[in-house]
């Protein structure tokens, strides 16, 4: 079992290895990783390294701010997401759905519901994809069978039929310094 600091090292190495790769929707690259990767690792293209589920699945654990069994606001949960990115050395900029993606960046969408957080990524073809939990393959199709062209219009499964509270967007720099 990894400690939090060991997990940070593992994630940084995987980010360094994969962050500059083209973000093509290629589920076959994730075969065999269904049980060891979730929406966060998929959004950031983290395909290598060891992932400790108890750390990654427990939102905020990576920065010592677990939200398990406590009430938090959307802003607090979002701030924890930003702290996680900073701890991993990921440079980011806040943006909007309509924001053009500059050279050397990719865009992610961050969903926050009453009981769940979910990450999607915008692939190089302009469509969105995500990995719904630990045991599923990546998909670029929503629950209605539609390609995900706009995260705000997509029917994305949330835990326990939660109500979506917020969607926020980030531009992620591919110039990773770690």
pLDDT digits (tens, 9 = 90+) for 91-116: 999 999 999 999 999 999 999 887 77
128 within 8 A of 148, measured Cβ to Cβ: yes
Kindly tell me if the per-residue pLDDT of 55 is higher than 90: no
pTM exceeds 0.85, yes or no: yes
The rounded Cα 10 to chain-centroid distance in angstroms is 16
Q: Where are the beta strands (DSSP E) in the chain?
A: 92-95, 105-113, 117-122, 128-131, 138-139, 164-173
């Amino acid at each position: 079992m990894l400690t939090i600091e060991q997990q940070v090292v593992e994630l940084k190495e995987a980010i360094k290895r994969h962050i500059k790769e083209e973000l093509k929707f290629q589920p076959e690259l994730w075969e065999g990783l269904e049980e060891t990767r979730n929406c966060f690792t998929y959004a950031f293209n983290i395909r290598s390294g060891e992932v400790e589920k108890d750390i990654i699945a427990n939102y905020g654990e990576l920065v010592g701010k677990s939200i398990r069994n406590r009430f938090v606001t959307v802003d607090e949960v979002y701030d924890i997401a930003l702290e996680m990115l900073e701890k991993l050395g990921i440079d980011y900029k806040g943006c909007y759905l309509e924001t053009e993606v500059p050279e050397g960046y990719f865009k992610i969408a961050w969903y926050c519901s009453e009981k769940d957080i979910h990450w999607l990524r915008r692939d190089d073809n302009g469509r969105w994809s995500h990995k719904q939990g630990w045991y599923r393959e990546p998909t670029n199709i929503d629950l209605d069978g539609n390609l995900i062209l706009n995260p705000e219009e997509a029917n994305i499964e949330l835990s326990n039929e939660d109500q979506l509270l917020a969607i926020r967007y980030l531009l992620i720099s591919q110039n990773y310094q770690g």
